[in-house]
Structure 1
């Protein structure tokens, strides 16, 4: 049979109200009484009913997190930052994978709201009108994590993706490269896709390099699309001397595709990307990349959400964290 708060109270010889105060960490309980209640809880194997507590307090101390791809190391690092801060503030998280598919993202958001979460952290692709409508009817705080909405309506934590891409391409230009290809994410994605593409284009045009659409291929953020894009680039009448990939995973696919063709990185073709995932230092040559502070993005997002959930003063609802170019061995000068 399920052990109830009544059973604990009877075992400890105290009132149910006292057990409730102990379980909810109320300081107004004598140490010896608290010890007696905890001993009774342990003997009986009592587990507080979170649903019942949530109904009584109208708080579940639970946060819903929508993540685009749980198998991607980048998002795993964000989730770790979220989890650490959630633990610090005594929140539990429910993590849901949405595969960057709009219909699944909306469905997951609604499911989490049905679970009576106290707040939502959303990582995904484009924030559409359908997303905004779901967030508007949520009645709980929502923070965008590693993404933003174009109208700036929803609080968010991210980097400046356009500037990150711009800095990456400027690094190639500084090494003498003029024929620079890009492996982009989908341009419907405002961050990894369109913003990074725009940063690439702005950098080459400012350097007086004519934009050539044959040097841009759209990938799906995965290793295989980096491999296929480079196969295409190598078949051009004049191959690029450098490749900028919108993500590390596509960049590593590009490196391996270059090597499979009997060429060397960076001697024949340089490669740079944005992310600075753990894989960037594992590949050979090690990948030069623009670092996103992924752990910090998760941690700051969760801290911002705790402030909103507790109705604390929030001075800055749109947070842009710094990025930096991490120089390794995949970029060289033009021979």
Structure 2
């Protein structure tokens, strides 16, 4: 039989209102009475009914999080930042994987809203008009996490992706490289793809170099596509002396393809990435990269969402966090 608040009240010899105050951490309960109620709860194995409490308060203290790829270490670090701040403010998290598929992302968003979450964090992925249409039906706050919408109309927390790519390529150019290849993400992705491509292009232009399309390959952010792109570069009659990869995972794939071809990194080809995933310091040579503050992106996103849910003042609804160049051993001067 399910233990109810009535059973706890009868066991403790108090009113149901007193049990409710104890369960909801109301300070207006004598310590001795509070102790009796907690002892009764423990003896009976009572668990408050979150659904019933949500119906009464019209709050579920639950936040939905849409994550594009649960196997990606980057998003795992963002999720950790989200959860730490959620715990601090006594919110529970429902984490949903969307496999980087637009139709599934929109379906998951609608499902979470039907679950009566108090707020929603949409992590990563391209924000299309279809996404914005789904978001517009929500009566709870939504914050974009590690992504933005092109029009900048929604609250968001991210980095300057074009600036991060510019700094990465600038590092190669300052080392004397003039033939710099890029392993890009899909250009339909405004952040990790197109913005980072634009940063690469701008850096070349700032050095008086024109973009050579043979030095650009489109990957899918994964290790294997980094290997394939590097193999293509190595086979060119005039191969690049350096490679900029739009993600660390593709950069590590490029390093291994270069080594498999009997060449050395950075002596023959330098490699630089973006993200600063854990593997960047484990691969040999260790990968020079531009770090995203992934934990901070998650933590700041969740804090922004708590303010919106509680209708607190928000100084800045569009937050751009700083990136940082991490020097390791995969870039050499020529």
2:84 aligns with 84
SS of 1:177's equivalent in the other structure is coil
Partner of 2:323: 323
Deviation at 1:18, TM superposition (A): 1.0
Q: How many residues align?
A: 334
Matched residue of 1:233: which SS?
helix
Q: State the Cα deviation string for residues 67-118 of structure 1 (Å, max 9, x = none).
A: 0111111110000000000000000000000111100000000111111100
**Deviation sequence 1:186-222 (CA, Å, 0-9, x none):** 1111110000000001101111112111111111111
Q: Which residue in 1 is equivalent to 2:253?
A: 253
2:225 is paired with a residue whose SS is helix
| 1:213-270 C-alpha deviation (Å, 9 max, x unpaired) | 1111111111000000011111111100000000010000000000000000000000
When normalised by structure 2's length, the TM-score is: 0.99
Superposition map of 1:84-163 within 5 A:
84-163=84-163
- 2:71 equivalent in structure 1: 71
1:220 equivalent to 2:220? Answer yes
Structure 2 gap segments, 5+ residues each: none
After TM superposition, the structure 1 stretch with the greater mean CA deviation from structure 2, 8-17 or 163-172, is 8-17
TM-score, scaled to structure 1: 0.99
Q: Kindly provide the CA deviation profile for residues 13-44 of structure 1, in whole angstroms up to 9, marking residues without a partner as x.
A: 11111111111111111111111111111111
Supply the distance in 2 between the matched residues of 1:40 and 1:190 (Cα, whole angstroms).
56
Q: What is the DSSP-based 3-state SS (H/G/I as helix, E as strand, rest coil) of the residue aligned with 2:196?
A: helix
Q: Distance in 2 between matches of 1:70 and 1:28?
A: 43
SS at match of 1:333: coil
Aligned partners of 2:124, 2:294: CA distance in 1, in Å? Answer: 14
Distance 2:112 2:8 in 1: 31
Q: Aligned runs of 1:1-335 on 2, under 5 Å?
A: 1-334=1-334
SS of equivalent to 1:314? coil
Per-residue Cα deviation, 1:268-300 (whole angstroms, up to 9, x for no partner): 000001100111100000000001000000000
Distance across 1 between alignment mates of 2:71 and 2:126: 20
SS state of the match for residue 325, structure 1? Answer: strand
Q: Matched residues in 2 for 1:97 and 1:309: separation?
A: 23
Deviation at 1:124, TM superposition (A): 2.6
- The runs of 5 or more residues in structure 1 that have no matched partner are none
- RMSD of aligned alpha carbons: 0.6
CA distance in 2, matches of 1:158, 1:124: 9
Deviating beyond 2 angstroms after TM superposition, the runs of 4 or more aligned structure 1 residues are: none
1:280-324 alpha-carbon deviations (Å, 9 max, x no partner): 100000000001000000000000000000000001000000011
Cα deviations across residues 151-207 of structure 1 (Å, max 9, x unaligned)?
111100000000000000000000000000000011111110000000001101111
